[in-house]
Amino acid sequence: MSERGRGDRRGGMSRGGRGGAVRGNRGGMGGRGGRGGGGDRRKGREGNNNRQAKKKGGSKVIIEAHRHRGVFIARGKEDMLVTLNMVVGNTVYGEKKVVVEGSSPEEKKEYRQWNPFRSKLAACILRGIRDIYMGPGSKVLYLGAASGTTVSHVSDIVGPTGAVYAVEMAHRPGRELIEVAKIRTNIVPIIEDARYPAKYRMIVPMVDVLFADVAQRAQAQIFSINASNFLKNDGHFVISIKASCIDSTVAPSTVFSKVRDELIENQFKPIEQISLEPYERDHAVVTGVYRPSKKEKAPE
């Protein structure tokens, strides 16, 4: 892939789009609906199509709804993936903001840049994943929350009617996560080891989506035990797999297939798999459905 196709480490996106997905050839910004999703644009809290906005330095940008609900593209000198800031004025990790002035202060909207080099979920969106299965109102159990970088964008996506149950076992990032959750009231921080879901069963309800980015050897087991406790039948999953954390002695593709097999044995039905290159090396994201009651078609 050329440099032009890579965006930059600050999280900008070039207009040229990106390389295709592992399956099919859906460039992140081009291809099937990648530029915000031809014909699939939604209105409402998330639907602020083609609004003129201003980046903090003053340059003009246009906001377009992405085909993933709750996700947007700020088109300007440099395109950026953004989410609608649930808490106007708040930033979480020094990300850029794009402001859309309304005719009254209540109508003012703010978007936060979502950096694919700092978030596997953003990376898989830019790589053209077909569905992330979360949108306004979703309840998401998020394993491996760290200090809340990606969690904060999931909080924007699910909005005030949704919830993110964010599990992190390390205390230092956990403290920062708690601070983020004090401001973003749809985040429930859980400072626990995700290997022991019984410890948080009183806090977490059945959820629509299970997401994991724990970068751990036992991540498939951790994922399965959390799914069996909290994920609805026909609920969806999104798992980020870092090959070297599981087995650095074999090819990443072998690790990915092993994890997929383990997931299938545990009643997960994978629908899509996507590589996170060039944002993350030897990482894949697998999405799918849990205990499906009916057949869900895999993308061609």
Residues that bind ligand SAM (CB under 6 A): 119-120, 143-144, 146, 149-150, 167-170, 173, 193-195, 213-216, 222
**Which residue's CB is nearer to ligand SAM, number 78 or number 193?**
193
In the block, tokens 């309304």 appear at 102
Of the pair 152, 273, the CB lying nearest ligand SAM is at: 152
**Residue of minimal Cβ distance to ligand SAM:** 144
Report, in Å, the least distance between residue 147 CB and ligand SAM.
7
Q: Which is nearer to ligand SAM, 33 or 173 (CB)?
A: 173
Minimum CB separation from ligand SAM for residue 150, in Å?
3
Nearer to ligand SAM, 13 or 190 (CB): 190
**β 231-242/283-290 pair status:** antiparallel
- Kindly state the smallest distance separating residue 193's Cβ from ligand SAM, in Å: 5
Q: Minimum CB separation from ligand SAM for residue 214, in Å?
A: 4
Structure-block tokens of residue 221: 């087991």
**For residues 117 and 267, which CB has a smaller minimum distance to ligand SAM in the complex?**
117
DSSP letters spanning the chain: --GGGG--TTSEE-TT--PPPSSS---SSSTTTTTT-TT----STT--TTEEEEETTS-EEEEEE-SSTTEEEEESSSEEEEEE-SSTT--SSS--EEEE--SSGGG-EEEEE--TTT-HHHHHHHTT-S-----TT-EEEEE--TTSHHHHHHHHHH-TTSEEEEE---HHHHHHHHHHHHH-TTEEEE-S-TT-GGGGTTT---EEEEEE----TTHHHHHHHHHHHHEEEEEEEEEEEEHHHH-TTS-HHHHHHHHHHHHHHTTEEEEEEEE-TTTSTTEEEEEEEES-SS--PPP-
Radius of gyration of the chain (CA): 18
Name which of 48 and 150 has its Cβ closer to ligand SAM.
Answer: 150
Return the number of the residue (169 or 241) whose C-beta is nearest ligand SAM: 169
In angstroms, what is the minimal distance from the CB of 109 to ligand SAM? 24
Query: Residue 168 Cβ, how far from ligand SAM at the closest point, in Å?
Result: 5
Q: How near is the Cβ of 226 to ligand SAM at its closest, in Å?
A: 10
